[in-house]
A and B are shown apart, each in its own frame.
Chain A
Amino acid sequence: MSCELVGRDLDAYLDRELDAASSVALREHVMACAACRRQLAQREALTKLVRGAPYYSAPDRLRARVLAQSSRSNSVRRVLPWAAAAVLALSVGAGMTLWPSASSGGNVIADEVVSDHVRSLMANHLFDVQSTDQHTVKPWFLGKLDFSPPVVDLASIGFPLVGGRLDYVGGRPVAALVYQRQKHIINVFVSPEGDDRSPRDVVLAARGFNLRRWSHNGMSFWAVSDLNSAELGEFASALRAS
């Protein structure tokens, strides 16, 4: 085997992709040729080095989203016929409202809040300001909103503040505060109370998410998360009391 051939086959040899006969020939040549030996050593060193390059693991939120997607595609397929039947059954019982105080617009806002929540997770736009520091998040809203949302960190009871962003509910800009409970994201939408005519205290579940709505000190709050209803209630009570 010539040096030229070694140069051509070196990588395949290192990658264990060279056939047996050529491998033997290459090894024999390398034993006798210092220049090729050095080349081989360089490539081996390079390979070792590159295998130490960073391995990027999928973020948990991506995993959660993909899981949600796959289970949704399964459940849609299996549940659709049943859902159709259920809607039919419901419409027979006319006058029945799916949402509390649907007439006051609560359902519309709740639906929008869920959509905002989902979008914030899907579109990878959870934060405009990412900080666990309430003294960073609160001033960030200055000049972006015509009100100042109360911002508190609840890390001490297991609901750390992770950031905030501007979002829209009912056609007006609102403050979205982002909290976290383990892997679960909680979005809290805050706006002046006068802008939101939803019922004052609401406990809802919609599209697989739990919602809480309350008012406090002239502000309207919507909390939405895939967190279970009990823990979201705990979170809502803590935020309200703070």
Chain B
Amino acid sequence: MHPRVFDEIVLPHLDAAFNYARWLTRNDAEAEDVVQDACVRAIRFFSSLRDDNPRAWLFTIVRNTWYSRVSRRAHVAAGAALSDEQHQWPDDALDPEERLLQQHTVAVVRAALEQLPVDFREAIVLREIEGLSYKEIAAVVGVPMGTVMSRLARARERLQAILMLVSSKETLS
């Protein structure tokens, strides 16, 4: 192994790995621990990096690291279980999309995202914030592409419902 290869190929994605871990864990300190552990594994398994997508590869390791920590602690974050219920957002006569854009601050969006079940949150973060393709998400999460698609759709519906709820509460108060 070329001595600087890991630093050059994987380390540029450290921010991305941390961002992903931070959204998974919703906690700075834990995200740091997860990424640190993940990087130790990544260094060890660096020779197994075959494809040309070190970022997705690192995400996969971050994800596995986090899940093994969570299962070791034997409690999965609240709300992690997926629900198949379909959410209907309120049918509103006003322009809800306009209201969304104008009213929601970054803090509100963050709080809404953090409320989502982890699988939904993860799909949205990988897609919207990290900009991964469905195929890449499927590889990281380990599910078929069709599942990625439906999960994203449901995640967005849920997120939209949460934000609408915030909007209506704000309007009432």
Residues of A within 8 A of B (CB): 8, 10-12, 15, 17, 38, 41-59, 62-63, 65-67, 69-71, 73-74, 78, 122, 124
Q: Are A74 and B14 in contact (CB under 8 A)?
A: no
Q: Are B160 and A46 in contact (CB under 8 A)?
A: yes
Q: Are A59 and B40 in contact (CB under 8 A)?
A: no
Q: Are B19 and A55 in contact (CB under 8 A)?
A: yes
Q: Are B23 and A56 in contact (CB under 8 A)?
A: yes
User: How many Å from the CB of B113 to the closest CB on chain A?
Assistant: 6
Q: Kindly list 15 other residue pairs between chains A and B, CB separation below 8 angstroms, not including A50-B109, A51-B129, A62-B18.
A: A11-B152, A12-B149, A15-B127, A17-B134, A42-B96, A46-B100, A49-B101, A50-B159, A53-B129, A56-B28, A57-B18, A58-B35, A62-B14, A63-B14, A65-B36
Q: Are A43 and B156 in contact (CB under 8 A)?
A: yes
Q: Are B128 and A62 in contact (CB under 8 A)?
A: no
Q: Are B7 and A67 in contact (CB under 8 A)?
A: yes
Q: Which 8 pairs across A and B sit closest by C-beta, in order of nearness?
A: A45-B97, A58-B18, A56-B22, A11-B153, A66-B39, A50-B128, A74-B3, A58-B14
Q: Are B110 and A11 in contact (CB under 8 A)?
A: no
User: How many Å from the CB of B28 to the closest CB on chain A?
Assistant: 8
Partner of A62 from the list B35, B97, B109 (CB cut-off 8 Å) is B35
Residues of B within 8 A of A (CB): 1, 3, 6-7, 11, 14-15, 17-19, 22-23, 28-29, 31-33, 35-36, 39-40, 43-44, 89, 96-98, 100-101, 104, 106, 109-110, 113, 124-125, 127-129, 133-134, 149, 152-153, 156, 159-160, 163
Q: Are A53 and B43 in contact (CB under 8 A)?
A: no
> What are 18 residue pairs bridging A and B, where the CB atoms are less than 8 Å apart in the complex?
A11-B156, A12-B149, A15-B134, A44-B97, A46-B159, A47-B156, A49-B100, A50-B109, A53-B106, A53-B128, A56-B23, A59-B28, A63-B14, A66-B11, A67-B7, A70-B6, A71-B3, A73-B43
**Interface of B: prevailing SS:** helix
User: How many Å from the CB of B65 to the closest CB on chain A?
Assistant: 13
User: How many Å from the CB of A45 to the closest CB on chain B?
Assistant: 4
Q: Are A46 and B35 in contact (CB under 8 A)?
A: no
User: How many Å from the CB of B119 to the closest CB on chain A?
Assistant: 15
Q: Are B7 and A70 in contact (CB under 8 A)?
A: yes
A85 to B58, CA, bound (A): 37
Collect the chain A residues with CB atoms within 8 Å of residue B129's CB.
Answer: 50-51, 53, 55
